[in-house]
Chain A
Amino acid sequence: MTTAVSDRSSKPMTTVWHRIFGRNPLGLLFSAPYLVFVIAIFAFPLLYSVWISFHDFFFAAPGAKVATPFVGFQNYITAFSDPRVIQSFGNVGIFLLINVPLTVVLSLVIATALNRVTHWRGFLRFAYYVPYLSASVAVVAVWLFLFSGTGLVNQILGPLAPNPSWLINEGWAMPSIALFVTWKQLGFYILLYLASLQSVPKELYESASTDGAGPVRSFFTVTVPGVRQATVLVLLVSTVTGANLFTEPYLLTGGGGPNGSSSSPVLIMYQQGLQQGHPDVAAAIGVVLVILVLIIAFLQNRFAGGRD
């Protein structure tokens, strides 16, 4: 068995070239535009933000001489001794606990079902995507309308409706937002799973069927393992998007909700950085958020994506 085939490069190369650029330098060429893009657009602001988090800093007009002394971890300490910041991280934790599992499970189940239905397939798929397609700003208006104290949902629920109602209820505000975001984003993940389902070989299902497995059984033995790569992706993207939650608390609860129970770290960053002129503290919160998310993503990858 020759393994050399996959290592072949397209031009005659010296070993020095190989050592610098790897076996297939074309890969670097292909990726160059993307890398330039990331460096030019992304790297500078990110590094700058990290730098800001270690200084007593505020944005001043260009040409202005302002002192921005190095202050070590001071901003981090200031940020995290504020109970509201800690609370916002906790809120996002609650959000993720509700949103991520719900998203993974629901989107896979719905995608599987959508993959199989024969009647009205187009319409059904469309229905599930539609929330994802609409701009948050508009959907929020409808959602607020439906979930207000006297809105449709409470009218239907009658005595079961929580009081005070959903978004102004300290215990229900964040879960309400989690439900909203799950509903709104589900189309994206359904699409990912649908794409992934296309490459699960039919033969596996047929052999499961001949082995006597019913639909539920084959779902767990064929479908779930078959889309594992997509699951890893769905987990990752939904966690990352959830951790960076901003628009929904901003629009649905106008800045933090009852007793700050629906504030999120990015919301606090926005308030601190853009409204109150403390980009240094905001940057500190941001850096910690990024690190936490990276840790969670790493753990997810290890446990969900690791084994072959």
Chain B
Amino acid sequence: MEHVRMSRFQTVLRGVVVGLGAIVFLFPFYYILIGSLQRKPDPSVAGAFPNPANITGENYVQINERIDLFRGLLNSGIFTAGVLIGTLIFGLLVGYALAVLQWRGRGVTFALALLVQVVPFQLLIVPLYVLIARDYGLADNYLGIILPFFINSTAVIIFRQYFLQLPKELFEAARIDGASELGVLWRIALPLVRPALVTVVLLTFIGPWNEFLWPFLVTKEASLQPLAVSLANYISNVAATASNPFGATLAGAAVLAAPVVVLFIFFQRYFISTDIGSGVKG
């Protein structure tokens, strides 16, 4: 998609720079993979390259013996799914309302969405815990884990920004044609919001998937803990007893990262631009 003509040199240069950057970015993650497959940690420069003599799947076996990786992934999945559902449904509604509709309290709601982001979690954590564990009685409960994260405020802002960028004429045209507000939302806005949906899914996924502190506080039952928590517990205490503690930790980290990686690769394809410009001109 070349909009601007670049000289051959510039194109190649761009490619090289981007490629080099990619390698730098990827390197630690690559190191996680390599490290998780090593029998003994090798801190030298040569250790960065896979050494057939040092490869083993044992780290994965060892960490799985101590923490149930599958169960942890399942719990992480439930936690994240709950947050995704809440954000995609209710966050989208709010974002749409903030961007397109005129109503009383619009400014306050937007200010709230911003405020929620500004306030650090550590300020709220004990009162929040008291609220959820004592007042709502939701300790050791999936709902208790999900609740503070249920609707991601960053997603609300992203949805709002996205809807703001859609031309007003589209909505007006639909209204003139006699569609109700709900109809406008359902038939016009939703189909167009796909790139934002993809963005929001990818971004909202990370938070609960990697979240450690809150589920750690709220759950004591090992069978309910998301993988990020089990992994952190493992690192802090049990890893030392494994034959390659560093490797076992990295194995857990690789397992934790794998589904997200897969999700990203899968969703890449849906990251297409909708040609809004021509929709209006049409």
A interface residue numbers (CB < 8 A to B): 5-10, 20-28, 30-31, 33-35, 37-38, 41-42, 44-46, 48-49, 52, 59, 62, 110, 113-120, 122-139, 141-143, 145-146, 150-152, 155-156, 183, 186, 188, 191-192, 194-196, 198-199, 201-203, 205-206, 208-209, 213-215, 218, 229-230, 233, 236-237, 240, 243-244, 246, 266, 269-270, 273-274, 279, 282-283, 286-287, 289-290, 293-294, 297
B172 close to A6 (CB less than 8 A):
yes
**Smallest CB-CB A-B distances: 4 pairs:** A138-B253, A27-B103, A205-B3, A22-B104
B238 to chain A, nearest CB (A): 14
* A218/B4 in contact, CB under 8 A: yes
Output the least CB separation between B159 and chain A (Å).
11
Complex: A236 Cα to B249 Cα, angstroms: 34
CB distance A25 to B103 under 8 Å? yes
Residue among A9, A127, A279 with max Cβ neighbours from chain B (10 Å): A127
Complex contacts, A270 vs chain B, CB 8 Å: 122
A-side interface mostly: helix
- In the complex, what residue of chain B is closest to A23 when comparing beta carbons? B102
Partner of A21, one of B103, B171, B206: B103
**Is B203 in contact with chain A by the CB < 8 A criterion?**
yes
Asked if B241 is at the interface (CB within 8 A of a chain A CB), the reply is no
B122 pairs with A273, CB closer than 8 A: yes
Chain A residues, Cβ within 8 Å of B151: 33-34, 37
Q: Could you mark each residue 111-122 of chain B with 1 if its beta carbon is under 8 Å from any beta carbon of chain A, else 0?
A: 011111111111
Contact A269-B109, Cβ < 8 Å, known A10-B182, A138-B257, A141-B250: no
For this complex, 20 residue pairs linking A to B, each with C-beta atoms less than 8 Å apart, are A6-B175, A33-B94, A34-B90, A35-B112, A37-B151, A62-B134, A117-B14, A130-B29, A131-B25, A131-B29, A135-B256, A137-B235, A138-B253, A138-B256, A143-B28, A150-B43, A196-B165, A229-B165, A240-B118, A246-B122
Residues on the B chain within 8 Å of A183, using CB: 25
Question: What is B's interface to A at a CB cutoff of 8 Å?
Answer: 1-6, 10, 14-15, 17-19, 21-23, 25-26, 28-29, 31-32, 35, 43-45, 48, 86, 90-91, 93-94, 96-98, 101-106, 109, 112-128, 130-131, 134, 147-148, 150-151, 154, 156-158, 161-162, 164-165, 168, 171-172, 175-176, 180-182, 195-196, 199, 202-203, 206, 209-210, 212, 228, 231-232, 235, 246, 249-250, 252-253, 256-257, 260-261, 264-265, 268, 271, 273-274, 276-277
Q: Knowing that A127-B25, A286-B119 are A-B contacts, what are 15 other residue pairs whose CB atoms are under 8 Å apart, sorted by A's residue number?
A: A28-B103, A31-B93, A31-B98, A34-B91, A45-B131, A46-B124, A110-B18, A126-B268, A137-B231, A139-B253, A145-B43, A145-B246, A208-B4, A233-B157, A289-B123
Residue pairs across A and B with CB atoms within 8 Å: the count is 307
Asked if A290 contacts B252 (CB within 8 A), the reply is no
Which residue of A138, A146, A202, A244 is within 8 Å of B231 (Cβ)? A138
B18 to chain A, nearest CB (A): 5
Interface centre among B123, B128, B164 (most CB of A within 10 A): B123
Complex: A37 Cα to B150 Cα, angstroms: 8
Closest to A11 in B: B180
Q: Assuming A128-B25, A201-B277, is B4 touching A142 (CB within 8 A)? A: no
Given contacts A6-B168, A269-B122, A286-B122, contact A37 B161 (CB under 8 A): no
Complex formed: what's the CA distance from A116 to B182 in Å? 37
Q: What are the residues of chain B within 8 A of A192 when measuring CB–CB?
A: 158, 199
Contact A24 B181 (CB under 8 A): yes
Q: Which residues of B contact A44 (CB under 8 A)?
A: 127, 131
Q: Which residues of B contact A110 (CB under 8 A)?
A: 18, 21
